[in-house]
Structure 1
Amino acid sequence: MKIALCSYHNPNFINTNIYREKALKELGHELIIVDDRQYVLPGRVRQRFECMQKWDLQRMNDGFVKEAKKIKPDIWMVIGGQSMLATTVKKIKELGVRVVLWTTDIPIDFDIVKEAAPFYDHIFCAGSEAIEVLKNEVTLKDLRLIPFGCDPDYHKPVQLTPEEVLKYQRDIVFVGSFYPNRAKILESLANFNIGIWGPYWNKVGDHSPLRTKIMEGKFNYDEWVKIYSAAKIVLIIHYQDGIVPSYQITPKLFEAMACGSFVLVDNQKDVKALFAGKSYLDFFENTNDLKEKIQYYLEHEDRRKKMAKEGRQDVIERHTFKNRIARMIKIIQEKE
Structure 2
Amino acid sequence: MNKDKVLRILVVLPLYGGSLPVGRFCVSALQKMGHLVETFEAPDFYGAYTAIDDLKVTSDRHQYLRNSYLNMLSQAVLAKVETFEPDMVLAMAQAPLTHQALKRMRNDNVKTAMWFVEDFRLFTYWQSFAPFYDVFAVIQKEPFIGELRQIGVENSLYLPLAANPDFHKPEELNPVDARKYGGDVSFMGAGYPNRRLAFRKLIHHGLKIWGTEWDGDHVLEPYVQLGGRRVSSEECVKIFNGTKINLNLHSSINAGELVGGGDFINPRTFELAACGAFQLVDKRTLMSEAFDDGELAHFEDLDDLDRKIEYFLSHPEEREAVTQRSRERVLKDHTYEVRMQSLIDFTVQQFSDWPAERKTDTLFDNNFPEELKNDIVSLVSKLGLPANVGFDDLVAAVRAQQGQLSPLDTAVLFLDEWKKTYKR
Per-residue CA deviation, residues 129-168 of structure 1 (Å, 9 max, x unaligned), is 75365332234x5111111111111111111223333333
Percent identical residues: 24
Aligned to 1:74: 87
Between the aligned partners of 1:328 and 1:23, the Cα distance in structure 2 is: 12
In the alignment, structure 1 residue 57 sits paired with structure 2 residue 61: no
Q: Provide the secondary structure at the position in 2 that maps to 1:248.
A: coil
User: Across the two proteins, how many residue pairs are aligned to each other?
Assistant: 329
Between the aligned partners of 1:10 and 1:83, the Cα distance in structure 2 is: 10
Give the structure-2-normalised TM-score: 0.70
In the alignment, structure 1 residue 18 sits paired with structure 2 residue 24: yes
Aligned to 1:3: 9
In the alignment, structure 1 residue 144 sits paired with structure 2 residue 157: yes
Pick one of 172, 190, 199 that aligns with 1:159. 172
User: Comparing 286-295 with 82-91, which one deviates more in the overlay?
Assistant: 82-91
Q: Provide the secondary structure at the position in 1 that maps to 2:231.
A: coil
Between the aligned partners of 2:196 and 2:245, the Cα distance in structure 1 is: 17
Which one has a bigger Cα radius of gyration?
A: 2
Q: In 2, are the aligned partners of 1:131 and 1:143 still within 8 Å (CA)?
A: yes
Between the aligned partners of 2:106 and 2:140, the Cα distance in structure 1 is: 25
Q: Which amino acid aligns with 1:135?
A: R
Aligned to 1:265: 281
Between the aligned partners of 2:86 and 2:136, the Cα distance in structure 1 is: 18
Aligned to 1:204: 217
Matches within 5 A, 1:87-236: 87-107=100-120, 108-111=122-125, 113-128=126-141, 130-131=144-145, 133-139=147-153, 141-205=154-218, 208=219, 210-215=220-225, 216-236=228-248
Between the aligned partners of 1:160 and 1:290, the Cα distance in structure 2 is: 27
Q: In 1, are the aligned partners of 2:71 and 2:97 still within 8 Å (CA)?
A: no
In the alignment, structure 1 residue 301 sits paired with structure 2 residue 313: no
Between the aligned partners of 2:308 and 2:264, the Cα distance in structure 1 is: 23
Q: CA distance change for structure 1 residues 8 and 183 in 2, over 3 Å: closer, same or farther?
A: same
Pick one of 322, 327, 332 that aligns with 2:342. 327
Q: Provide the secondary structure at the position in 2 that maps to 1:123.
A: strand
Aligned to 2:253: 241
Aligned to 1:312: 327
Q: Provide the secondary structure at the position in 1 that maps to 2:113.
A: strand
Q: CA distance change for structure 1 residues 14 and 103 in 2, over 3 Å: closer, same or farther?
A: closer
Per-residue CA deviation, residues 38-97 of structure 1 (Å, 9 max, x unaligned), is 475435269933222332233332333333233221111111155322332121011121
Root-mean-square deviation (CA), in Å?
Answer: 2.8
Per-residue CA deviation, residues 245-271 of structure 1 (Å, 9 max, x unaligned), is 973222111111111111111233333
Between the aligned partners of 2:19 and 2:130, the Cα distance in structure 1 is: 30
Q: In 2, are the aligned partners of 1:13 and 1:220 still within 8 Å (CA)?
A: no
Aligned to 2:266: 250
Between the aligned partners of 2:264 and 2:232, the Cα distance in structure 1 is: 22
Residue 323 of structure 1: how far off its partner (Å) = 1.0
Q: In 1, are the aligned partners of 2:19 and 2:92 still within 8 Å (CA)?
A: no
Residue 10 of structure 1: how far off its partner (Å) = 5.3
Residue 273 of structure 1: how far off its partner (Å) = 4.2
Between the aligned partners of 2:146 and 2:197, the Cα distance in structure 1 is: 28
User: Gaps spanning 5+ residues in structure 2: where?
Assistant: 1-6, 353-424
Q: In 1, are the aligned partners of 2:278 and 2:319 still within 8 Å (CA)?
A: yes
Between the aligned partners of 2:132 and 2:69, the Cα distance in structure 1 is: 22
Aligned to 2:403: none
Q: In 1, are the aligned partners of 2:92 and 2:115 still within 8 Å (CA)?
A: yes
Q: Provide the secondary structure at the position in 1 that maps to 2:205.
A: coil
Residue 301 of structure 1: how far off its partner (Å) = 2.2
Q: In 2, are the aligned partners of 1:81 and 1:102 still within 8 Å (CA)?
A: no
Q: In 2, are the aligned partners of 1:82 and 1:109 still within 8 Å (CA)?
A: no
